[in-house]
Structure 1
Amino acid sequence: MSQVYLLRHAKAVWPSPGQKDFDRTLDSAGIQSATVLGEEMKRFGLRPDIILCSTAVRARQTLEHIALQPPFIQEDLEKLYSGSADNYLTAIRMAGLEHENAHSVMLVGHNPMMEDVAIALAGRGDPPAHPTFAAGFPTAGLAVIDFAGPLAEIRHGTGTLSTFLSPSEHL
Structure 2
Amino acid sequence: MSQVYLLRHAKAAWPSPGQKDFDRTLDTDGIEAARILGQELRRAGLKPEIVVCSAAIRAQQTLEYLDLEPPFVLEQSEKLFSGGPDAYLMAIRMAGLEHENASSIMLVGHNPMMEELAIALAGRGKPPSHPNFESGFPTAGLAVIQFDGPLAEIRPGTGTLQAFFSPSTHH
TM (norm. structure 1) is 0.97
Q: Where in structure 2 are the equivalents of 1:1-12 lying within 5 Å?
A: 1-12=1-12
Structure 1 gaps of 5+ residues are: none
Q: How many residues align structurally? A: 171
- Aligned residue for 2:76, secondary structure, equals strand
Cα deviation per residue 1:136-164 (whole Å; 9 max; x = unaligned)?
Answer: 00000000000000000010100000000
Structure 2 contact 37–167 (Cα < 8 Å) conserved: yes
User: In the alignment, is residue 160 of structure 1 matched against residue 141 of structure 2?
Assistant: no
Q: CA separation in 2, counterparts of 1:71 and 1:135?
A: 34
Partner of 1:54: 54
Q: CA separation in 1, counterparts of 2:119 and 2:106?
A: 16
How far did 1:167 drift? 1.7
Q: CA separation in 1, counterparts of 2:147 and 2:129?
A: 16
Q: Where in structure 2 are the equivalents of 1:62-81 lying within 5 Å?
A: 62-81=62-81
How far did 1:129 drift? 3.2
Give the counterpart letter for 1:122 in structure 2.
A
- Aligned residue for 1:108, secondary structure, equals strand
Structure 1 contact 141–168 (Cα < 8 Å) conserved: no
Give the counterpart letter for 1:134 in structure 2.
E
Q: CA separation in 2, counterparts of 1:34 and 1:112?
A: 19
RMSD over equivalenced CA pairs, Å: 1.3
- Aligned residue for 2:75, secondary structure, equals strand
Partner of 1:136: 136
- Structure 1 runs of 4+ off > 4 angstroms? 168-171
Structure 2 contact 36–170 (Cα < 8 Å) conserved: no
Give the counterpart letter for 2:106 in structure 1.
M
Give the counterpart letter for 2:41 in structure 1.
M
Q: CA separation in 1, counterparts of 2:160 and 2:124?
A: 5
